[in-house]
Structure 1
Amino acid sequence: MGCIHVLLFVAIFHIAVPVFAWKQYRIRRSIDLSASNPLIPDAKLPSDLVPVNYTLRIKLNAEQLSFSGAVNITMACTKRTNQINLHAHNNLQIDEVNLDVIQHLDDGETSLVKIRRVDRVPKKPLLVVYLQDDLTANGLYEARIHFKGMIWENTEGLFQGKYKQVNSDDMQQDRSYFATYFRPHHARRVFPCFDEPAYKVPFLVTIIRPKGYHTLFNTEAETTATVDDRYELDSFKITPPISTFALGFVVSELTLIQYDSDHTNVNPTVRIWAREEFHESLKDAETKIRSILAHLTNVWNVSYPLDKLDVVALPNFASVKPADNWGLVAFKENELLQGYYGITQELVYQWLGSWITPHWWSDAHVNKAVAGFLSASTAIELDNGAEFEGKWPMTILYSIYYEFSKRYPHSRITAMKQETTCSKTELVLRMLNYTLGEKTFRNGLREFIKHRKYKTFASNDIWEALTKQAHLDNRLCESATVNEIAGSWISKDRIPVVKVVRNYDKRTANVTQRLYLRERPHDVPEQDKMLWWIPLIVVSQDNLNFTNTSATKWMKNVREVTLEDLPNSNSLIIVNPEEIGPFPVNYDERNWNLLANYLLTSEGRTKVPVYTRAKLLHDAWNLAYAGDLSFATAFNMTLFMQHERNHLVWNPIFTLIDHIGRHIDMSKVHKKFEIYVRTLLTPLYEELVSHQQEKEAKWKINLRSLAKSFLCKAGYKPCIEEAQAVYKTWMNSSEPDLGNPVANQYICPVFKWGMMEEWEFGLQRVINFPESRLQSERTYLLKTLAGCPIQTSKINRLLNITVLEDNSNFTDNDISLIFKMLSGGSNGYMALFQFLKQNWEAIKLRFKGQEALWDNLINSATGLFTTQEGYDMVSQLYVQRQGEFGTAEHIIEKSLKNIKEETKWSDENLPVIEEWLDNFLKQYKPSNEKFIE
């Protein structure tokens, strides 16, 4: 054990440490205030002591799933203090008796510092050491602490993973590995430390592990020594300055994959580790990782910062995200089998995150956004966009539009807010890449990273570097800064809508911006005060150049500007083509009609790129839904879809059909809308079926599946007959409860359009569902039993058996799920409302003392009506049962308020929709032979 003692108490203050490691520590603010992570305590440690380096020893006890160790923390005192504050999780045991603090004197000697007491702060992960006398400013001190802790199964701190390994006798054996996951603030679960990203210092680490295992760490192993007949000790090279969250190790029996290519002399050394059976699956992994590293080296114009990279495929790794330690990245096995994007994101962090590090968690979100943007662009370049099938960034863009146009974005869900804020920042980076120019943008990032080796940064540093480069390249006027531009987007949980109203005689346009609200009522406080820096990129019909992405004019935090020198009155214009900026655009009616007519021509569909065609369609329908555009104009924009076959343009159509369909499905207009949908989708689907091939692109399979799903909902006979034929095999099974041989895609069409006998068979399968089968299968079956039928008889049967008969086969969670599914369409919530009205007393008695179920029922039965008829029904019930709603009183009052608002929408829009549909159906005369009426 002597070698351990020497390593542990090495004179660590002699380790070479850059002086900036503690002298440059300072409090910094970022514009990214709204993106700070509320899940991480904002209380920082006092800055009167800062770490200089660590010597850390950890011993694993695999049998007892525990660990023990010791840490020596050398600290510089920046101002007089009589206490040492460290992060230490409440589950971490500290040996307070053997805790020492020493002072390193100028002559190389040491002096023991007297300790008054040691405290653990209740409900906070803090360890406080109170001293008899003050520590002196500019002094160097060392805390020597022994600790113990548990190894957990959840991936926080130090955890255990389990898997099966096939041995030489083809028998499966249980195997374990032990790994760390310290991001963002879980190092404190394993050892006392300054667990904040800004503290970047070297670590000298030794790990004592069971024999038969090996250890991977941030740096290479220097020596391995035998401790006893059960344990070995690995000593590692000292790390560069590193944050605690980037520290990590994996102790396992996983083996190194040997590749045919010889990269022994290529820097960095890349090694990939996995269980033996998985080696063959990762035969292409090294090539993929090296191509990503080469690309990122070119992006940053800086070589990979370390001399090695270990990549580990962890079996049964339960974490949502990989463990991206510096020089050591642990993935789920299947993540290494996927495309470039996920792997690239973790490798970007080797530069931006580990080598240079966000100063505080608010800056980490900008860090993540840069990583996301670079990962997407890298993946697109390395595989020609095959991984995304062209969907980036539209998938996140449309979800951002939807979320930020609500009255209450994120529904006050913190985790959702973090993700959407990060996604929006990624879209802002994409906008800057276009408007500043790719060369300027990349050179700005290179300048940003160039002088920050081993340092920290605030998000403002990125914006400042981009500003300097943009000014140098004359891509941005001297009075403007990227900080202002980015700040106007990041600091608000909102996005703008831009309206362009042309003056055709003067060849100008008045452009205004305001808050984009899709959800009614539009009564968000202080919306008139919200302004953005918005780039106006304009393409006109006389020069359809979609490669020029420079802004014609910027809206510099102003309400309105004027565009000049526009084309003549017969030529269209497009503002914000290719979704360069994350904002929708509205036009005057004439320009919308010019766009609609142009897209009906083959020239228009050829010359207007895919993203722009999708944008025009998406903007028109969402603006109409929000009440900012006539539905007649929005429907006109869909006419070209009869000739459109690109999946990216079709994708938003399905969402919009669903939204509009749900909103109007209680009205008489709905049937006409359904015929319109059939007319739009049938040619697309039948063409995709007729050209179906054995091996075809994934997007084509998905597009055919979506079209089929929507046609099935609309009563497409070939689909219904196919579903019933497959379903019949289950009904004819001698033991139907042993398993479901029917694919999920067939069940809903049968329950919606099929016979009562078929639906009843499904109900019995739920009632008799064996405990041995996956409960998720039962849940899906129950969802479709409730959510798919349009016949009141089926819905009443389900409600009677679950609510009135109180069938023991159905739990309260089942009943809540049924209510939720019934609220998805007018057939469901209308039947639920009538059921409530007719069985009021019995239901009240049934749910006595079950406020959650009662509230859920009232919300689902009354909250979704959208017409005056629905308002009258709910209002009548409210008056009849005044004072009997109990805990749901506020719910029905809210329902009435919402229905009133939706009724206004229906009164304004349904006549317009109906008139347009009537004209459309007269012109196209669709056949209904293939559909169930």
Structure 2
Amino acid sequence: MRRSALKLGISLILFVAIDAFPKRLERSVDLNEQHKLEWVCICDDLWPLSYILEIEPLITEAKFKGRVRINVTWTEGADKISLHVHPDLQISHSNVRVTRLNDVHVSDDSAEEPKAPAPVRISKTERNPKKLVIHLDQMLRRNVICEIDITYLGNITTNGTSDLFMNEYNDVNGQKHSYVATYLRLNNARKMFPSFDELQYKTKFQLILRRPKNMTALSNTPIEKSVAVPGEPEMMQDHFEQTPEMTTYQLAFVISDFESIVPTKHANTIDGQELQVRVWGRKDYVEALKDVPDKIITIVNYLQEYFNSSIKLAKLDIVAMPTYTATKASDNWGLMIFKEGELSSPLVWNMAYELTYQWIGQYITPYRWVDASENKGLNSFLASMTTMDINPDELKGKWPMNILYSLYYGYGKAFGANRRTGIIRDAKFAKIELVFRMFYYILGKEDFKTSMRHLIQSQSTTWPGVAEGRGTRSFTAIDIYNSMKYVATKSGSLPRPLTIIQIAETWIDQERLPLVTVTRNYNNSTITFSQKLYVRETQNPLNSWESSYRWNIPLVMQSRHKWNNSDYTPKAWLLKSNYEQNLNIRDIDDKDSFIVVNPEEIGLFPVNYDSHNWELLADYLQSPTFETIPTLTRAKLLHDSWNLAYADELHFKIALNMTLFLKHEKSHVVWEPFFPMIDHVGRRIEGSGVFGKFEAYLRSLLKPMYTEACESPQAGEPSWKAHLRGLARYFLCGAGYEPCISEARDQFKKWMADQEPDKGNPVANEFICPVFKWGTDDEWNFGLERVIKFPRDSPERKQSERTYLLKTLAGCAKDPAKIERLLYVAITRRADFTDADIHLIFTMLTGSSNGYTTLFKFLYDHWDTIKQRFAGSMNLWTGIVRSATGFFNTQEGYDMVSKLYAERRSEFGNAEPFVIEAMENIMREMKWSEKNLPVIDQWLTDNLVKPLVIDKDMQQYWKTALACPNREINDATAPAS
């Protein structure tokens, strides 16, 4: 699943839609689309009433024959018809017919009698790259119904998963099998048939497919009848039941020789029907899918109860498709398509996420693609809640903290996430997901469920004032929030006049996050709350417009003496409208009791406290009863304190005190944020005299976690075990823990002893970096040789293996001589190293002081040679200058960069702004170091005076908890103290 840390960066596509029909209330905000969308408005007063679509795939020719009959009506008089048509569809003028039908809807004030069906003369047809325009000889009046009948020829896609595509797979005997399927999101339906290919055009479809007798056809609805094709004994024609009203992108079918299996459990009857579920796959893969049908039934039953609704279809077919290359499963209404590995996975989240779309996204659909952002974020949250209820261990320690931490890092950039660093589309969706989680706590579990039921029920009927069949079962982002508003109004969950929409807008529209500061007055028993923009990095003063960011923030609070895990409703609100005012309330506990604001990360914001409250928290966390503070809250307190210290918002002594309880902490959820934080802080202080003490402190905390590596991935063990094992080993190796280094080198020797080392890498990735960091020249040179001799076109070796080797060669080496050699070889032997390789080396060298210092000296000493080498590549030139100058944080580094700038000022070219920026950044980093390094040094000195012995109880705990399954645990596996 997609819960790994987000690497933030995005390109926004603004989609503005215009239509001639009454508009619903929509948000006037910049929302991301899911994909790039070619949008062309039909812009005629024309509406489809129904489709009859016939498709005959010609597999050997990679083409298909098609015929579409569309019943349409006009809302105003017109003499032309415009349809979305892709240029690939071959349509001749003679194969386009228009017939006026006798079933005419006549307005009440008209005396016109219905006319018999009659052809309508076509004066001409006109094609442009995106439309087919049919010009009629006569003006047709409003409410006239016509049938558009078009016969055409199209191409089947053979090099991807889009529109109507075809692919092959080999069975265990090597025999090839073909299949044909569709992927019509977002606007790919026009590649398969002329249509009204926009979301607002929702109508019924009748699908007719021609297929070989030895194959099976699936679509949104069951087959109504199958008939033999006259004159073609090997062919059948399947007529599917008419669909409910839906959009063109929802239409789907698969023609294949796949086999099906059914669940042993039954879907609960709801809305008077029982959903029939079948899972399909190639014959050789069906055994791997045997547990999938019952898992689907479990999730379907959960969601049916949650929404108090069926998906409104009689059946659901789910296909495991070989060689399926779409980035996302195809969640078509009643027919879903997955990659084989995704469908056979025992995990719940991905299946829950895709199944949720059967209700919110298929039964009710986004009114515009801009509404898909809220749709995706909401469904992601609902899938997480479903997973937590069905299989809580799956997300334990991963959700919501991992995605929230990534948002903190991304949105906390000094220059703004969207302008300087960018954010990928998934970051926007992740933020929306967590906003819904926040509303879940604000409303309460049952009221939030009620709001989801209200959303589906309220959008299941035709909008008032719109003719039947137009806009049915569609929702905008505002409809989601209105459903929550409906519940909040009834329950009184929000203080008046605050609304759900007002809250949502401040969180979703602003590409930043707030920092809430809590200051307790222990003399008069009051608490003061203030908010400001959260910036994690040292920076210049904020611009005035950045300083004006404000949010509507729920203040959920708990305290030592009044902790209540069943009550997470806000005690107060810090409002956007109180622009220049802080909020003051009565304290919720006495002065000897700590308070916690935003426990469980209910809101998307870190919290800072006055120093005394931090002291109370640090002291309590070291007490025997520290686990009465819930796990996620302990993780938040640790994460907030270190990030605030990193951002120079909190005294570093407090942040370090907040780590002392870790020697007794048993939850991997709490440990999870500690590793990136020690990495970030370690990079900042590396090269200083403090760093050695810092590594010693890390070894004292992490030694109990050290266990021998598993020889291979262990089936059945929770993913967090392997993850935590790997993290502990990585940081212990990086900090010079001898048992870890010895184990890594022993594993690496096996590769060096291989007579054909370029055929494969037997060493796990986790062992490579320690060897390149602490090992011998021979071991490092062996790695460099493997990069140079890596087989480029070998089907057995993935290029990602070479990339990882190159990353670790550059990023892990401590010896400047090794780094210089790598730079020399990479820059001079251009046949063995691409521009991308050299960029990667520069980037990896910025991760350590040895790396960027050596890179700087290499640039300084070989300036003329490098300038000449990179004369034809401005990106490489600016890349090396930026990487070599931009990461120092000491006076010595500043002197080195400023000297280079003074000597070569006229020679930097386009790289000059990076050098100027680097010197500004170094000055800011120097101020941070001047303030914090003495504090860190003194704290480490005071705490390292104590003997660095391993806590035997914790050692035994972690040895048991992190041991590989089925491996005997004994004292021989324990690391040396």
- TM-score in terms of structure 1 length: 0.92
The one-letter code of the counterpart of 2:67 is A
- 1:811-840 superposed Cα distances (whole Å, 9 cap, x missing partner): 333222222221221111111110110111
- 1:123-142 superposed Cα distances (whole Å, 9 cap, x missing partner): xx333334455443333333
* Residue 270 of structure 1 pairs with residue 277 of structure 2: yes
Aligned partner (choices 140, 144, 161) of residue 139 of structure 1: 144
Aligned residue for 1:717?
738
Report the CA distance shift for 1:162/1:541 in structure 2 as closer, same or farther (over 3 A).
same
* Residue 568 of structure 1 pairs with residue 590 of structure 2: yes
Aligned partner (choices 876, 892, 895) of residue 853 of structure 1: 876
How far apart are 1:68 and its partner, in Å?
A: 2.2
Aligned residue for 2:522?
504
CA distance in 1: counterparts of 2:444 and 2:91, whole angstroms: 54
- Number of aligned pairs? 898
- 1:217-243 superposed Cα distances (whole Å, 9 cap, x missing partner): 001111222221453221111100011
The one-letter code of the counterpart of 1:219 is T
The one-letter code of the counterpart of 2:243 is T
Report the CA distance shift for 1:84/1:417 in structure 2 as closer, same or farther (over 3 A).
farther
CA contact (8 A) 1:645 1:684 kept: no
How far apart are 1:525 and its partner, in Å?
A: 5.3
CA distance in 2: counterparts of 1:658 and 1:235, whole angstroms: 61
CA distance in 2: counterparts of 1:346 and 1:203, whole angstroms: 23
Report the CA distance shift for 1:113/1:815 in structure 2 as closer, same or farther (over 3 A).
same
CA contact (8 A) 1:471 1:478 kept: no
The one-letter code of the counterpart of 1:70 is R
Equivalences for 1:317-396 in 2 at 5 Å?
Answer: 317-338=324-345, 339-383=347-391, 385-396=392-403
CA distance in 1: counterparts of 2:362 and 2:715, whole angstroms: 46
Aligned residue for 2:842?
819
The one-letter code of the counterpart of 1:253 is D
How far apart are 1:877 and its partner, in Å?
A: 0.6
What is the percent sequence identity of the aligned residues? 43
How far apart are 1:181 and its partner, in Å?
A: 0.9
- CA-based RMSD of the aligned residues comes to 2.6
Equivalences for 1:738-757 in 2 at 5 Å?
Answer: 738-757=759-778
Report the CA distance shift for 1:349/1:819 in structure 2 as closer, same or farther (over 3 A).
same
Aligned residue for 2:9?
none
754-763 vs 519-528, greater mean Cα deviation: 519-528
CA contact (8 A) 2:79 2:139 kept: yes
- 1:20-64 superposed Cα distances (whole Å, 9 cap, x missing partner): xx9976354225533445722565432622222111111101011
Report the CA distance shift for 1:415/1:44 in structure 2 as closer, same or farther (over 3 A).
farther
CA distance in 1: counterparts of 2:741 and 2:283, whole angstroms: 47
Equivalences for 1:232-311 in 2 at 5 Å?
Answer: 232-257=236-261, 267-311=274-318
* Residue 594 of structure 1 pairs with residue 616 of structure 2: yes
Aligned residue for 1:10?
none
Report the CA distance shift for 1:857/1:96 in structure 2 as closer, same or farther (over 3 A).
farther
Report the CA distance shift for 1:490/1:135 in structure 2 as closer, same or farther (over 3 A).
farther
How far apart are 1:415 and its partner, in Å?
A: 9.8
Equivalences for 1:512-531 in 2 at 5 Å?
Answer: 512-521=530-539, 523-524=542-543, 526-531=545-550
Aligned residue for 2:408?
401
Unaligned runs of 5+ in 2: 1-18, 105-113, 461-471, 951-973
Q: Secondary structure at the match of 2:88?
A: coil
How far apart are 1:776 and its partner, in Å?
A: 2.4
* Residue 542 of structure 1 pairs with residue 561 of structure 2: yes
Aligned partner (choices 443, 455, 472) of residue 448 of structure 1: 455
Equivalences for 1:787-866 in 2 at 5 Å?
Answer: 787-803=811-827, 805-806=828-829, 808-866=831-889
Aligned partner (choices 644, 648, 654) of residue 665 of structure 2: 644
CA distance in 1: counterparts of 2:789 and 2:728, whole angstroms: 34
How far apart are 1:201 and its partner, in Å?
A: 0.6
How far apart are 1:750 and its partner, in Å?
A: 0.9
Report the CA distance shift for 1:41/1:63 in structure 2 as closer, same or farther (over 3 A).
closer
CA contact (8 A) 2:206 2:242 kept: yes
- 1:492-523 superposed Cα distances (whole Å, 9 cap, x missing partner): 11221111111111111110112211133253
CA contact (8 A) 1:71 1:145 kept: yes
Aligned residue for 1:487?
505
Q: Secondary structure at the match of 1:831?
A: helix
Aligned residue for 2:787?
766
* Residue 98 of structure 1 pairs with residue 95 of structure 2: yes
Aligned residue for 1:904?
927
Report the CA distance shift for 1:629/1:350 in structure 2 as closer, same or farther (over 3 A).
same
Aligned residue for 1:56?
53
498-507 vs 452-461, greater mean Cα deviation: 452-461
Q: Secondary structure at the match of 1:881?
A: helix
CA distance in 2: counterparts of 1:590 and 1:884, whole angstroms: 54
- 1:362-407 superposed Cα distances (whole Å, 9 cap, x missing partner): 2111111221111111111112x02113421112111122211124
648-657 vs 354-363, greater mean Cα deviation: 354-363
CA distance in 2: counterparts of 1:473 and 1:27, whole angstroms: 26
Q: Secondary structure at the match of 2:732?
A: helix
CA distance in 2: counterparts of 1:859 and 1:800, whole angstroms: 18
42-51 vs 211-220, greater mean Cα deviation: 42-51
236-245 vs 868-877, greater mean Cα deviation: 868-877
CA distance in 2: counterparts of 1:54 and 1:525, whole angstroms: 56
Equivalences for 1:21-32 in 2 at 5 Å?
Answer: 26=23, 28-30=25-27
How far apart are 1:143 and its partner, in Å?
A: 2.6
CA contact (8 A) 1:716 1:931 kept: no
CA contact (8 A) 1:293 1:304 kept: no
56-65 vs 415-424, greater mean Cα deviation: 415-424
* Residue 159 of structure 1 pairs with residue 156 of structure 2: no
Q: Secondary structure at the match of 2:95?
A: coil
CA contact (8 A) 2:393 2:718 kept: no
CA distance in 1: counterparts of 2:704 and 2:602, whole angstroms: 32
The one-letter code of the counterpart of 2:500 is V
Aligned residue for 2:807?
783
CA distance in 2: counterparts of 1:437 and 1:90, whole angstroms: 52
CA contact (8 A) 1:787 1:828 kept: yes
Aligned residue for 2:488?
470
765-774 vs 183-192, greater mean Cα deviation: 765-774
Q: Secondary structure at the match of 2:494?
A: coil
* Residue 70 of structure 1 pairs with residue 67 of structure 2: yes
Unaligned runs of 5+ in 1: 1-21
- 1:516-548 superposed Cα distances (whole Å, 9 cap, x missing partner): 111332535512322211111111112111220
Q: Secondary structure at the match of 1:514?
A: strand
CA distance in 2: counterparts of 1:871 and 1:347, whole angstroms: 56
How far apart are 1:194 and its partner, in Å?
A: 1.7
Aligned residue for 1:212?
214
CA contact (8 A) 1:675 1:926 kept: no
The one-letter code of the counterpart of 1:84 is I
CA contact (8 A) 1:120 1:126 kept: yes
Aligned residue for 1:40?
37
- 1:633-688 superposed Cα distances (whole Å, 9 cap, x missing partner): 11111111111121000000001011111122132222222222112211333699
CA contact (8 A) 2:412 2:536 kept: yes
CA distance in 1: counterparts of 2:167 and 2:699, whole angstroms: 51
CA contact (8 A) 2:364 2:459 kept: yes
How far apart are 1:157 and its partner, in Å?
A: 0.7
CA distance in 2: counterparts of 1:190 and 1:415, whole angstroms: 36
Report the CA distance shift for 1:909/1:34 in structure 2 as closer, same or farther (over 3 A).
farther
Aligned residue for 1:221?
223
261-270 vs 671-680, greater mean Cα deviation: 261-270
CA distance in 2: counterparts of 1:413 and 1:163, whole angstroms: 44
CA distance in 2: counterparts of 1:695 and 1:114, whole angstroms: 69
